Amino acid sequence: MTRVNETHAPDLRSWVGSANEDTTDFPIQNLPFGVFRRRGSSGPFGGGVAIGDQILDLAAAAASGALAGDARDAAVAASRKRLNDFMAMGPAAWSALRLALSRALRTGATERGRLEGCLLAQRSAEYALPAAIGDYTDFYIGIHHATAVGRLFRPDAPLLPNYKWVPIGYHGRSSSVVVSGEPIYRPLGQSRAEAGDPEFGPSRRLDYELELGFLVGPGNRRGEPIAIGSAESHLFGVALFNDWSARDIQPWEYQPLGPFLSKNFGSTLAPWVVTFEALAPFRAACPRAPGDPEPLPYLNSERNRASGSVDVQLEVLLQTEAMARSGLLPARLSRSSFVEAAYWTPAQLVAHHTVGGCNLAPGDLLGSGTLSGPHPEQAGSLLERTAGGRQAIALPSGEHRTFLEDGDTVILRAWCERSGARRIGFGACASTIHAPKRAP
Amino acid sequence: MTRVNETHAPDLRSWVGSANEDTTDFPIQNLPFGVFRRRGSSGPFGGGVAIGDQILDLAAAAASGALAGDARDAAVAASRKRLNDFMAMGPAAWSALRLALSRALRTGATERGRLEGCLLAQRSAEYALPAAIGDYTDFYIGIHHATAVGRLFRPDAPLLPNYKWVPIGYHGRSSSVVVSGEPIYRPLGQSRAEAGDPEFGPSRRLDYELELGFLVGPGNRRGEPIAIGSAESHLFGVALFNDWSARDIQPWEYQPLGPFLSKNFGSTLAPWVVTFEALAPFRAACPRAPGDPEPLPYLNSERNRASGSVDVQLEVLLQTEAMARSGLLPARLSRSSFVEAAYWTPAQLVAHHTVGGCNLAPGDLLGSGTLSGPHPEQAGSLLERTAGGRQAIALPSGEHRTFLEDGDTVILRAWCERSGARRIGFGACASTIHAPKRAP
């Protein structure tokens, strides 16, 4: 777990002016990584770092002579069309590049002359997935979400007996994870509202899930579990993640082996990955209720108890087609917080995932599961926000929503703020719902 | 669905003498694809075709001048370190190469002189996974397995209401799929035998699952379902597959999202992929019981009803360390058949998987799920074979087994035979259980 260092100093300023604005997600204390190219280009994607409203092109930066040694080697690895090679290098390389970039982008840095030509405005960029995702696992660590969903099925015992022992997770579909901005097609599928034969058609209960995605760093060999004490060094960073869900397909298909078509039609990952080092000022204890069991030893460490979680604020916004046409801004549907929502820490997810010998690889994605607070206005999904579709949400356009309609755009945002630290943000994770392309 | 053609003629003989032996899995009518290199070599793996007890090296064959046109182009694509590029080419290319190889390997072929130098004995080869598996999905189409497992939980209604409507499947872990011969490490994990706190340790109920794996060919773009009528043209071939399972970890972890650590510690795929074209003489109808619902239209076609399944015979063998030391051959634990076991056809799996818009990619793996017959001696897992661990199996060594011990080797075999056709086999899918490498 990386400590606070000079790169986090709240008074650092950058010669990239927009990085010093109060409202930016990307001050010099953040320096998240992504993969981009000039919008409309047919050239290859390459790694970059967000700074204010600009992107520092890492291939150009490495070639400019502004970086040296380990930082330059890391920038070369990070300049490829996906960040996997850089993710595989581990914390020392990540940290060397962060420190070098922090120094080179500061006000007064002598590298300014060489780096000014390496910037591209974010408004002129398009993005690809930051990593080639070999495997995607979705966890279920949002305890208020698990409780709210469980209550629909088991009012007296909403949480299953394993919940506070096992970081519940399942394997997701990696091929349909797309970067923010890509369309999401409403899935066709079977559902059964009542007893009787199932129906087939487009999902009528299409939902989002507000999640954080953790991108794996070096990973492990098959048969070699990662101990809790070193687990976080195998996580490169964090990005906003929306695990779209078809709530009518899910109940009919999911017994006994879990969700399948209700989830695998698409998931949206934000373009910017905030490193764990950038999150150092915002670490927090994972709250436990009195009487909760002590985690088993493979999930337990003093440091994990003290500061295994991260204080990330989250929100969901919705903009319908009609709202966009009328010039209405996206409306906030809910606000939530990772530290309040998450029963398990990122390190515990790594330790659990590998304890049986499963191998993680650089670029693998671990979703947190839906991050809801205990109250409806903190819900990370419409299922919870509308009480299972029974309480429609009124929108500024006069429209109402229980579940998503075609043309709706869902935008996830997140940020960290704490006194004595510079606020950092995660950018946006947004996709628009499209009608199914064609019936089969 | 490929028709029977000249490559299936039962009287074809090869100038590779071992291909003409009655007992070979790999007569000239089979021609399965795999990826190999000389055992102990540090060179790259490359594509090959099994013929008798030999492997035809496709890179060498393409370079020899013995192949021309589309067949040569296909051989070049198939000669790479994984078969994904070849799988992506589709049935016309697969078929062109099969026909050319069939003609060139026949007794009297003029290509013999150029191809004799392209052979390597299988006993001198080692194998890699035939494809880079982007995503692995495991289905649950063995209806007798689903019934037997369901009976343990719900004696009165063992099959869930969705079973005969939905080809039940879930996402598996692709990173831990290994080729036959690789060790399988006994997983550590949580389990809970009785009420009370869970225990942590090595699994005590380690099991195999007898499956077939279907390797995806061209696949589809996200949002574009594959219709049942063309579904099978998106399947390259079939290989034996063992989806190892920890039966004590599974019940404690799997609610509500399905199996996770109980499955993701390893799965073993055979090296040889038998093409769907090679299976043409063995097509069969998928049996349905009176009163079973008609499949929904997206899962239904006349051809699928008439011949969507394949008559593949299956068996499981076990050899313990003590048996191997005493020179005892592997003992057969059970015999089964795909066509008897499988409630859904391979084409239905493709149509269902993609109907919501999920994209399949070349080399993706679709597991069938455990293929058990209705009787215990047809069980595809020890869970069923030993009645949940209550009825130990006696072995020729005097040992007994309920679940697997360290040092046990499980061998899956399969073959097709039918009067008027040459018998073809699938080779073997074998792995040995090892103790956990280390505690975390």
CA–CA gap between residue A415 and residue A429 (Å, rounded)? 13
Which residue in chain A has the smallest CA separation from B167? A253
What is the CATH number assigned to the segment(s) B136-434? 3.90.850.10
How remote is the C-alpha of B109 from its chain's centroid?
A: 32
3-state secondary structure B267-301: EEECCCEEECCCCHHHEECCCCCCCCCCCCHHHCC
Question: Which listed CATH number (3.40.50.300, 3.30.450.20, 1.10.3190.10, 2.30.30.230) goes with A6-128?
Answer: 2.30.30.230
Lowest-confidence segment of A53-57, A253-257, A398-402, B281-285 by average pLDDT: A253-257
CA angle B319, B366, B376 (to 5 degrees): 45
Which residue in chain A has the smallest CA separation from B224? A437
CA–CA gap between residue A288 and residue A293 (Å, rounded)? 9
Nearest Cβ partner of A257 from B225, B258, B434? B258
Asked if A356's CB is within 8 angstroms of B265's CB, the reply is yes
Asked whether residue B377 carries a pLDDT value surpassing 60, the answer given is yes
Judging contacts by C-beta atoms under 8 Å, the chain A residues touching residue B266 are 222, 357
pLDDT digits (tens, 9 = 90+) for A351-360: 999 999 999 9
Element at A96 (helix H, strand E): helix A91-105
Rounded percentage of chain B residues whose pLDDT exceeds 70: 99
Asked if B252's CB is within 8 angstroms of A223's CB, the reply is no
Asked whether residue A186 carries a pLDDT value surpassing 70, the answer given is yes
Best of B166, B168, B200, B249 to mutate (most A CBs within 10 Å, chain A): B166
A438–chain B Cβ distance below 8 A for any pair = yes
Average pLDDT value for residue range A208-216: 98
Phi-psi region of A320 (alpha: psi -120 to 50; beta: other; left: phi over 0): beta
Torsions phi, psi for B100 (to 5 deg): -65, -40
Residue A8 falls in the annotated catalytic set? no
B243–chain A Cβ distance below 8 A for any pair = no
pLDDT digits (tens, 9 = 90+) for B53-78: 999 999 999 999 999 999 999 999 99
Asked if B298's CB is within 8 angstroms of A176's CB, the reply is no
Asked if B436's CB is within 8 angstroms of A357's CB, the reply is yes
Asked if A253's CB is within 8 angstroms of B254's CB, the reply is no
Q: What is the pLDDT of residue A1?
A: 66
Asked if B361's CB is within 8 angstroms of A175's CB, the reply is yes
Best of B222, B268, B294, B434 to mutate (most A CBs within 10 Å, chain A): B222
Judging contacts by C-beta atoms under 8 Å, the chain B residues touching residue A434 are 223
List, as ranges, residues 51-110 from B with C-beta within 8 Å of A: none
Side-chain half-sphere exposure of B58, counting CA atoms within 13 A: 30
Give the confidence band of A196 by pLDDT, cuts at 50, 70, 90.
confident
Asked if B357's CB is within 8 angstroms of A437's CB, the reply is yes
Torsion, CA A15, CA A21, CA A25, CA A27, rounded to 10: 30
pLDDT digits (tens, 9 = 90+) for A35-50: 999 999 999 999 999 9
How remote is the C-alpha of A17 from its chain's centroid?
A: 27
* Nearest-neighbour CA in chain B from A288: distance (Å): 18
Nearest Cβ partner of A266 from B185, B353, B357? B357
Beta bridge partners, B256, equal none
Q: What is residue B242's DSSP assignment?
A: E
Asked if B170's CB is within 8 angstroms of A140's CB, the reply is no
Asked whether residue B44 carries a pLDDT value surpassing 60, the answer given is yes
Asked whether residue A126 carries a pLDDT value surpassing 60, the answer given is yes
Asked if A246's CB is within 8 angstroms of B296's CB, the reply is no
Closest CA to A146 of A176, A167, A125: A167
Average pLDDT value for residue range A72-81: 98
Q: What is the pLDDT of residue A153?
A: 74
Lowest-confidence segment of A411-415, B114-118, B146-150, B234-238 by average pLDDT: B146-150
The token duo for A413 is: 């945002």
Nearest Cβ partner of A356 from B189, B351, B357? B189
pLDDT digits (tens, 9 = 90+) for A321-372: 999 999 999 999 999 999 999 999 999 999 999 999 999 999 999 999 999 9
Asked if A293's CB is within 8 angstroms of B197's CB, the reply is yes
Judging contacts by C-beta atoms under 8 Å, the chain B residues touching residue A296 are 190, 198, 200
A169–chain B Cβ distance below 8 A for any pair = yes
Complex confidence, ipTM: 0.97
Between chain A and chain B, the number of residue pairs with CB atoms below 8 A apart is 226
Which residue in chain A has the smallest CA separation from B196? A161
Which residue in chain B has the smallest CA separation from A222? B176
Which residue in chain A has the smallest CA separation from B230? A440
Q: Let me know: does B130 contact B269? Beta carbons within 8 Å.
A: yes
Give the confidence band of B440 by pLDDT, cuts at 50, 70, 90.
low
Judging contacts by C-beta atoms under 8 Å, the chain A residues touching residue B252 are 162, 165-166
Q: In the predicted model, what is the mean pLDDT of chain A?
A: 96
Average pLDDT value for residue range B163-181: 98
Q: Let me know: does B209 contact B381? Beta carbons within 8 Å.
A: yes
The fold of the B6-127 domain, in CATH, is: SH3 type barrels. (2.30.30)
Domain positions in chain B: 6-127, 136-434
